[in-house]
Structure 1
Amino acid sequence: MNMPSLPFQFDDSTSLHPRLNRALILLEWLSGLVALVLVLSDQGFVRQKESLPGQELTNSNWWLLGLTAACLALPVVTLPVRYWWSRTRSTFLRSHALLVTITLIWFLGAIAFSIPTATMEVIQEEIAGTHGPGQGMIFWTELFGLLRGISSLIRLIRWSTEAGLSPALVFVASFLLLIFSGTLLLMLPRCRPEGLPPATWLEALFTATSACCVTGLNVVDPGTYWSRTGQCVILGLIQAGGLGVMSFGAFIALVVTRNIAAREAATFRDLLESDRLGDVSGLIKDIIAFTLAIELVGAVAISGLWSHLPLGEQIFYSVFHSVSAFCNAGFCLHAEGLIGRELRPEVWGGIALLIILGGIGFGPLHNLREIASHQFLKIFMPQKISPSIGRMRVSLTTRIVFRVTIALLVGGAVVLFLTELGRPVAGQTIWQQIANAWFHSVTLRTAGFNTMDHSQLTPASKLISIVLMFIGASPGSTGGGIKTTCFAVAILTLRSVLQQKSHIEAGGRTIPQEQILRGLSIVALSLTAIIGCTLILVIVENKPTLFLDHFYEATSAFATVGVSTGITPSLKPLSQLALIATMFIGRIGAVTLVVALAGSASQVVYRYPDERISLG
């Protein structure tokens, strides 16, 4: 199979000079990465090391500005040349719309900032918050340098999906790239409050992994240890990790070119477990639309928690916690979490609903959206319904997800309330205990927020919490765990055995044998990962009295929940590395990791004779 040699949409037949065209594409792509490195160098190191008294730019600033501008200006030369060489000029601009747009807007803005006028000084003050000579230009150039760098990384990931690589391998690699990038960003001096040393590599790696894997476990307090820049980096990692870097890349492709390559669509179909290839584009659009809409409404709904703060701070806190809740990350900018706020409707209502919606999964939400749209057209615009569509129905996955989710939420709240009745809590009313039980039944299924101290839970409550964490959220969601559908398959398998049936039925459908085997494999590998992590913690820490806490922490890491008994910051480096690995395995899925490492399996064209074995 011939693979593209560059991370761009490239076909030798579309250019009159293929080799030269290939070289120009490579230069454009590399210039984007170089621009990103230059921007991070200036923002992370130079600005921190060299203060700007009187808003005057230093020599280092000017050098970095010039090099970044050169990287951004390169497509001004290469794109017209490549357009002139192209055999398909009618589609050239559309297929390169993102690069053309970024370059054109930056170029026009750079010209405007280079002309000293009263109007531009006002604009510079408004958008950059600066008034010194050259400050507007450096802000504008670095902003678009950042955009160019991100677009180059997204193109690299899209190339991987278009090249026909294993979907599992691409998925794993995209998260490794995101974690690596996040670690480097958090190690920048600018990500720490002024006057404090940069974060260590282990602190940065643990935080980046926890954010990318939407876990919420921390070795430092996110609200005080990181600067506002560091918190923004964490916010970006949570959003990218919750939705997946590949989803962003595919969405940008859909917006810019209105289509994605067939191989890319097939890769997403496998990752999103969609039944039809034609569903992929609609599902990706729904993922982004659902996310932005829910997070925006959620931010407004929970903003009352920070009404005492200035407007700018209130907006940031609201957006941060809304994204953290919907992505089931559990990162909180308060050292005590949400303790003492359990009776606030923004907590037991707003944040809880964001967590539930994020844990439902985009597949069921997409299914319900399609049904609602179909019913709307059927009632108000029946002439627009295509005869080939047929009757829309609620999928088996959607039915299982909602039934298991409701059962776990209600059942978990009742059991947690009962197991905590025997623990006297000073000053807590019955309503506070009910609110705590409800909120933790929600958050234990991969969110990680807390309204009570988990180190003070009864042993029975901790065991129930471990079970809820292990089951986790639903497939295709921002949460972790073995997933509600996998838990349902295990229960249905048990029921089938008790009924002495050779197949498994649910909702008038028969579940394929290969899915049953995959579900049982997920359970087995997940238990192996949790037990392995717990074993490492027990051996390294050598504190037998904390066995249940170590088990709790390992399960929280694997299920990407983030709740903690408070022992994570005090763990030894090897134990923290074990949690990092467990968070990563839990986010991408144990089976996905095994498939990615194993590579493509050969087709088996034979089968041995059956022979029964004793199972006890």
Structure 2
Amino acid sequence: MIHKLKELYRGATPIQSLVTYYALATVAAFILLSLPCFKNPGAKISFLDTLFMAISTISVTGLTTFPIEQVYNQGGVVLLEFLFQVGGFGITMLSTVALVIAGKRISLHQRQLIQFDMNQPRLSGMVRLVTSVFGLMIFVQIVFGVIFAAYFKATGVWTTWPAAFFHGIYVSVSSVTNAGFDVTGNSIIPFRHHYGFLFIVMILIIIGSIGYPVLIECENWAFYKFSKQTTKRRFRFSLFAKMAVFFAVFFFIVGTILIYFSEMRGTLSRQDWFDKLMTAMFYSVSSRNAGLQINDMAEFNTTTILILAILMFIGASPSSVGGGVRTTTVG
């Protein structure tokens, strides 16, 4: 039986392998989310709601059919964070990192899966790309999770360090992975006027949505710029990186302008110009990728909702944690 499964694995195309992996990941997520140890006492959800939640977490869509804070306990929220990583990084990336840590050899088939999953033109350098991206993203999540925790404790949003760290890490993880799930019932609405906090959240969303290859090229550029080598070859960004950054900035600016003027005399009419600008900027970033909100979106007019729908359709850059048809495709 095992021998036949190995033959099927080796003979499968990258598409077949990836579909199988994500189907198995969804089943595993469904089983884990169904366990009573991750739920609040007495909390019950239907088979269909649990299945929807499993698919939504693996796909990091941020959609739920029930209030998360009423169903899952802190252990359940930690489980959600883990599933965000699976959906955000991708199964091929996580499995490759696990093999590297275990000291196992990365097969040609595994490298082909990475190439296909991350939409890369060349097979060479796949393992280095995966490990570099994984290390960078985990580092960013931990560092900003600690920063958020210190901010929450200093401002008194959460009075104890455990609660501050718990929520700080969650905000960091959900922002970087572009998950956007609301585990408090208020998303980040209580921080509506905390502009520094909102700005950092936007930066984290952009880091997750700009594309893994772009992040690695930025890392390489930093090493090139600050290295002490006397003879250095001139560093050049790839065409992909230039296009991804250009269209990310372009759609961010266009989205900000459209939302600003659409709600200038609507929901935002009672706010000053800077508050209006921050709101427009935040939704221009969040709507294309993360789904976080800082006010009741039911208050937006029909035109703004249509603008947000278009931005959601466009989505993020290729080879990132975000969704949509991709910025470079529309560009």
Give the Cα–Cα distance (whole angstroms) in 2 for the partners of residues 483 and 461 of structure 1. Answer: 21
Give the Cα–Cα distance (whole angstroms) in 2 for the partners of residues 222 and 351 of structure 1. Answer: 21
Write the mapping of 1:205-284 to structure 2, written as runs, cut at 5 A: 205-257=51-103, 259-284=105-130
Question: Structure 1 residue 443 and structure 2 residue 286: aligned?
Answer: yes
**TM-superposed deviation, 1:249:** 0.8
Partner of 1:412: 255
**TM-superposed deviation, 1:206:** 1.7
Give the Cα–Cα distance (whole angstroms) in 1 for the partners of residues 195 and 264 of structure 2. Answer: 23
Partner of 1:380: 229
**TM-superposed deviation, 1:285:** 0.7
Give the Cα–Cα distance (whole angstroms) in 2 for the partners of residues 409 and 425 of structure 1. Answer: 19
**TM-superposed deviation, 1:483:** 0.6
Q: What RMSD over aligned residues (CA atoms) do the two structures have, in Å?
A: 2.3
Partner of 1:429: 272
Distance 1:407 1:478, change over 3 A: same
Write the mapping of 1:200-599 to structure 2, written as runs, cut at 5 A: 200-257=46-103, 259-304=105-150, 306-307=152-153, 308=156, 309=158, 310-377=160-227, 379-380=228-229, 382=231, 392-424=235-267, 428-488=271-331
Q: 1:492-546: CA deviations, max 9, x gaps?
A: xxxxxxxxxxxxxxxxxxxxxxxxxxxxxxxxxxxxxxxxxxxxxxxxxxxxxxx
Secondary structure in structure 1 of the residue aligned to 2:183: coil
- Checking the alignment, whether the CA contact within 8 Å between 1:301 and 1:350 is kept in structure 2 is no
- Checking the alignment, whether the CA contact within 8 Å between 2:202 and 2:282 is kept in structure 1 is yes
Give the Cα–Cα distance (whole angstroms) in 1 for the partners of residues 293 and 166 of structure 2. Answer: 20
Letter in 2 for 1:192: K
Letter in 2 for 1:175: Y
**TM-superposed deviation, 1:305:** 5.3
Partner of 1:167: 14
**TM-superposed deviation, 1:221:** 1.5
Secondary structure in structure 2 of the residue aligned to 1:380: coil
- Checking the alignment, whether the CA contact within 8 Å between 2:263 and 2:304 is kept in structure 1 is yes
Q: 1:388-410: CA deviations, max 9, x gaps?
A: xx754211110001111111112
Give the Cα–Cα distance (whole angstroms) in 1 for the partners of residues 11 and 316 of structure 2. Answer: 30
Give the Cα–Cα distance (whole angstroms) in 1 for the partners of residues 37 and 230 of structure 2. Answer: 55
Give the Cα–Cα distance (whole angstroms) in 2 for the partners of residues 174 and 477 of structure 1. Answer: 18
**TM-superposed deviation, 1:465:** 0.8
Rg: which structure is higher? 1
**TM-superposed deviation, 1:246:** 1.7
Q: 1:144-186: CA deviations, max 9, x gaps?
A: xxxxxxxxxxxxxxx94xx142112222222211111111111
Q: 1:267-296: CA deviations, max 9, x gaps?
A: 212222223322101111112111111111
Q: 1:421-469: CA deviations, max 9, x gaps?
A: 1215585333322221111011011201001212221111111111111
- Checking the alignment, whether the CA contact within 8 Å between 1:191 and 1:229 is kept in structure 2 is yes
Distance 1:188 1:258, change over 3 A: closer
Distance 1:371 1:304, change over 3 A: closer
TM-score under structure 2 length normalisation: 0.91
Give the % identical residues. Answer: 24
Number of positions where the alignment pairs a residue of Structure 1 with one of Structure 2: 326
Letter in 2 for 1:401: A
**TM-superposed deviation, 1:266:** 2.1
- Checking the alignment, whether the CA contact within 8 Å between 1:189 and 1:199 is kept in structure 2 is no
Q: 1:359-380: CA deviations, max 9, x gaps?
A: 0010111122233334545x42
Report 1 or 2 for greater relative contact order, CA contacts < 8 Å, sequence distance ≥ 6: 2
- Checking the alignment, whether the CA contact within 8 Å between 1:216 and 1:448 is kept in structure 2 is yes
Distance 1:374 1:262, change over 3 A: farther
Give the Cα–Cα distance (whole angstroms) in 2 for the partners of residues 456 and 251 of structure 1. Answer: 44
- Checking the alignment, whether the CA contact within 8 Å between 1:306 and 1:314 is kept in structure 2 is yes
- Checking the alignment, whether the CA contact within 8 Å between 1:356 and 1:442 is kept in structure 2 is yes
Give the Cα–Cα distance (whole angstroms) in 2 for the partners of residues 419 and 337 of structure 1. Answer: 23
Secondary structure in structure 1 of the residue aligned to 2:321: coil
Letter in 2 for 1:203: D
**TM-superposed deviation, 1:213:** 0.7
Write the mapping of 1:107-126 to structure 2, written as runs, cut at 5 A: none
Letter in 2 for 1:177: L
- Checking the alignment, whether the CA contact within 8 Å between 2:88 and 2:321 is kept in structure 1 is yes
Give the Cα–Cα distance (whole angstroms) in 1 for the partners of residues 264 and 90 of structure 2. Answer: 40
Q: 1:209-267: CA deviations, max 9, x gaps?
A: 11111111111112232112221221111111111122111111122226411222122
Question: Tell me, which stretches of 5 or more residues in structure 1 are unaligned?
Answer: 11-158, 489-616
Give the Cα–Cα distance (whole angstroms) in 2 for the partners of residues 192 and 292 of structure 1. Answer: 26
Give the Cα–Cα distance (whole angstroms) in 2 for the partners of residues 311 and 222 of structure 1. Answer: 23
Give the Cα–Cα distance (whole angstroms) in 1 for the partners of residues 217 and 121 of structure 2. Answer: 12
- Checking the alignment, whether the CA contact within 8 Å between 1:367 and 1:394 is kept in structure 2 is yes
- Checking the alignment, whether the CA contact within 8 Å between 1:348 and 1:438 is kept in structure 2 is no
Distance 1:350 1:193, change over 3 A: same
Give the Cα–Cα distance (whole angstroms) in 2 for the partners of residues 4 and 397 of structure 1. Answer: 41
